[in-house]
């Protein structure tokens, strides 16, 4: 299954400390109706660091059940423990996901050789397409294009979620990893530039709030209407900015709650956003006609 377009990094709605199953299912149905091209449950935006293993697995299962084959599902299964990443990836495969999104190990700062060994071990343990999640801002390690090229030689290492913010990187990655290597940006604000440099889509935070508009950018690009894609992308820029004024997913959860689709409830150590950020989020949403 090809991965492209606006792929939402789903929030995990909570109510009274527990997963709000009804809200989660409702969000997925809304996204499908709005044209979202794929789903990533239990990524960073889904507050995976504070989900128990049981909750992590349940969210993946709920997503698979609700999507019911209508869109690809790419489950977050990364860990800074290789053994734990293998366990989570095995569960995701059994649940029926289309691929696993596996973050570079955080905190323990592996070398490039360590990164290669980590992904090679997961690849060899689970027969499932793997997308590397390269996000130096959270993991403190940056997988080099050379290491990624070595991994791309393995049959089930199929792509990357690139959150480096380096818009030259997709050009270098394509040069090293080939045209079939699927490149997805993790930075909403550089979506169009990333597509122009050979990317296939965006694993998007903003799509949680404006799924139709985010999908429209990709649809316009795919039909060759760069002007329409740029016009919509420019309209979305204030929202892209506002959703990262504080640590994500606190702002995006507030934004989705403003749409009446879930509670803004977070788990510590994340806390509710401040008044200034709330005003910025609301202003950006009003500018797009998402709220009155």
Say what the pTM is: 0.97
- What pLDDT was estimated at residue 1? 54
List all residues 6 or more positions away from 251 whose beta carbon is below 8 Å from its beta carbon: 242, 243, 244, 245, 273, 277, 281
Q: What is the mean pLDDT of the chain?
A: 97
Is residue 269 assigned to a domain?
Answer: no
What is the domain-level CATH number for residue 204? 3.20.20.70
Residue 239 falls within a domain, yes or no?
no
Tens-digit pLDDT profile for residues 39-80: 999 999 999 999 999 999 999 999 999 999 999 999 999 999
Alpha-carbon dihedral sign for residues 12, 127, 177, 146: positive
Query: Which residue in 116, 119, 133, 254 is the catalytic one?
Result: 133
User: Residue 99 is part of which domain span?
Assistant: 5-210
Query: How much of the chain exceeds pLDDT 90, in percent?
Result: 99
254 flagged as catalytic: no
Looking at the domain assignment, is residue 124 inside a domain?
Answer: yes
Residues 6+ apart with CB under 8 A from 49: none
The tokens of 168 are what? 């030259």
Q: Is residue 241 part of a domain?
A: no
Residues 80-120: tens digit of each pLDDT: 999 999 999 999 999 999 999 999 999 999 999 999 999 99
Q: How many domains does the chain have?
A: 1
Residue 226 lies in a domain: no
- Catalytic annotation, pick one of 93, 116, 119, 161: 161
How many Cα atoms occupy the beta-carbon half-sphere of 272 within 13 Å? 9
Q: In the chain, at which residue ranges do the beta strands (DSSP E only) sit?
A: 5-9, 14-15, 18-19, 38-40, 74-76, 99-103, 130-134, 157-162, 182-185, 201-204
């Amino acid at each position: 299954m090809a991965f492209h377009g606006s792929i939402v990094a789903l929030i995990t709605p909570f109510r009274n400390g527990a997963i709000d199953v009804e809200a989660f299912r409702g969000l997925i149905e809304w996204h499908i109706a709005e044209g979202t091209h794929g789903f990533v449950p239990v990524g960073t935006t889904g507050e995976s660091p504070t989900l128990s293993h049981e909750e992590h697995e349940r969210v993946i299962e709920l997503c698979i059940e609700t999507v019911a084959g209508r869109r690809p599902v790419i489950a977050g299964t990364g860990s800074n423990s290789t053994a734990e990443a293998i366990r989570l990836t095995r569960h995701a495969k059994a649940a029926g996901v289309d691929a696993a999104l596996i973050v570079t190990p955080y905190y323990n700062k592996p070398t490039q050789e360590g990164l290669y060994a980590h992904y090679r071990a997961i690849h060899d343990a689970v027969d499932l397409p793997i997308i590397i999640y390269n996000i130096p801002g959270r993991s403190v390690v940056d997988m080099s294009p050379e290491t990624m090229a070595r991994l791309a030689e393995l049959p089930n290492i199929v792509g990357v979620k690139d959150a480096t913010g380096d818009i030259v990187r997709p050009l270098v990655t394509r040069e090293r990893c080939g045209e079939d290597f699927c490149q997805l940006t993790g930075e909403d604000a550089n979506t169009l530039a990333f597509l122009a440099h050979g990317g296939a889509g965006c694993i998007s935070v903003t799509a949680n709030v404006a799924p139709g508009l985010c999908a429209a950018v990709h649809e316009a690009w795919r039909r060759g209407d760069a002007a329409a894609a740029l016009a919509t992308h420019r309209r979305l820029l204030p929202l892209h900015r506002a959703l990262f004024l504080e640590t994500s997913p606190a702002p995006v959860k507030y934004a989705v709650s403003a749409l009446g689709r879930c509670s803004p409830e977070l788990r510590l150590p994340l806390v509710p956003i401040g008044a200034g950020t709330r005003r910025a989020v609301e202003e950006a949403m009003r500018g797009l006609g998402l709220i009155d």
